[in-house]
Amino acid sequence: MSDLAINGDSAIALAWKQIDPDVCAAYPITPQTIIVERFSDYVADGDVGTNFVCVESEHSALTVCTSSCSAGARTFTATSSQGLAYMWEMLPITSAMRVPLIMAVANRAISGPININNDHGDVMSARDCGWLQLFSENVQEAYDMAIIAPRIAEHPDVQLPCMTNIDGFILTHAIERMKPLADSVVKEFVGEFKPFKPLLDYKNPVSHGLMDGPDFYFEHKYQMVQAMQKAVPVIEKVFEDFAKISGREYHMVEEYRCDDAEVVAVVLGSAFGTMKAAVDELRAKGVKAGVCMPRVFRPWPADKLAKVLDGKKAVIVMDKHLSIGAYGPMYPEVSSVLIGCKKVPKAYNYIYGLGGKDVKVAAYESVFEDVLAGKAKTVNYLGVKE
């Protein structure tokens, strides 16, 4: 297929059209709304056979989706910010029921104060709920991750739900050039849905969502830990398979000019692209800077990140969410990785971009410069008005 000029939300809807899931239940919320609006057009036009369920809330959306997937239907949904917060009760229930549904999340600040712009407050607030989490830098990756996610989540060794995260407005609404795959290629890559112990298989009756007392609750939670661990080789294999059909390579940790870098920043989402520009500017000044992005946030790619960061002079962890009373949420996770390094780098935490606050290339450059000049604190708030 020829290149398209398309925004991130529409790119995800296109990927869903090519996959043609059995069920989609969703409730509109900015800046995710375009995904389900566009996909509902495909449903109305008969381009897909999906049963589209319009619900009265995000809590109901995830409840319907969890039930649908448990019954044996490939199921997708999408949300953002307060919508994800409204789903929160169902998030750990969905993962505990081991249903591999896919949810696109247009990352947006969690109110209050009321704000509809981008940061990672929504997904970070859900990071411990047992969901796989993938991040994208640009529209092409948003489309690709939407196709990759079902192959990972539905694998027999995994069977966990998956969030595909894209930065609200920055990617959801920005129009970029993207190269889609042919419908037949996507269909073959994703394959048919093979549900594990579906509720409607009356010849092999099972129960779902039961009460789980002290004798087995811990064990069932540990099974989810094991599934996350098993997801690592599955993710790597799916990335390899996707590269064969698309020519686009993905890794659990994406690196940019990290090999000989003395200082490396760790970022998520669209900031990876902006930080690359900052790294190039710094390199031109003789500063050995680098940047990496954990494309997969859950399962946390500790071993792979350690290989990137071991031996560096300093590591800068960029958090687009504020854990009030503590560090940014990614900082302690990266720090736990650094403890096992042969040569432990000094780690700095930068909180940035909350509520959509713009951060330009020059500001990212100043972060590296302050760290190298010894001006940085352990925790720093980039661009905040004192």
CATH code of the domain in which 71 resides:
3.40.50.970
Backbone φ, ψ for residue 373 (5° rounding): -85, 0
- Is residue 198, in this structure, part of any structural domain at all? yes
pLDDT at 73: 98
- Report the number of distinct structural domains present in the chain: 2
pLDDT at 386: 80
What b/e sequence results for 28-50 when a residue is b if at least 16 CB atoms lie within 10 Å of its CB, and e otherwise?
bbbbbbbbbebbbebbeeeebeb
* pLDDT tens for the chain, residues 1 to 386: 789 999 999 999 999 999 999 999 999 999 999 999 999 999 999 999 999 999 999 999 999 999 999 999 999 999 999 999 999 999 999 999 999 999 999 999 999 999 999 999 999 999 999 999 999 999 999 999 999 999 999 999 999 999 999 999 999 999 999 999 999 999 999 999 999 999 999 999 999 999 999 999 999 999 999 999 999 999 999 999 999 999 999 999 999 999 999 999 999 999 999 999 999 999 999 999 999 999 999 999 999 999 999 999 999 999 999 999 999 999 999 999 999 999 999 999 999 999 999 999 999 999 999 999 999 999 999 999 98
Nearest to 71 by CA among 181, 195, 220, 165: 195
- Is residue 106, in this structure, part of any structural domain at all? yes
Residue where a domain terminates, one of 217, 246, 275: 246
Task: Give the Cα separation of 347 and 332 in Å (integer).
Answer: 10
Residues 89 and 30 in one domain: yes
- Is residue 346, in this structure, part of any structural domain at all? yes
Report the run of H or E that residue 175 belongs to, with start and end: strand 175-178
How many CB atoms lie under 10 A from the CB of residue 261? 25
pTM of the full structure:
0.97
- Is residue 386, in this structure, part of any structural domain at all? no
- Is residue 49, in this structure, part of any structural domain at all? yes
Residues 92 and 127 in one domain: yes
pLDDT at 5: 98
Residues 219 and 260 in one domain: no
| CB-based burial label for 73 (10 Å; 0-12, 13-18, 19+) | buried
Residues 215 and 310 in one domain: no
Residue where a domain terminates, one of 246, 262, 284: 246
Task: Give the Cα separation of 56 and 284 in Å (integer).
Answer: 54
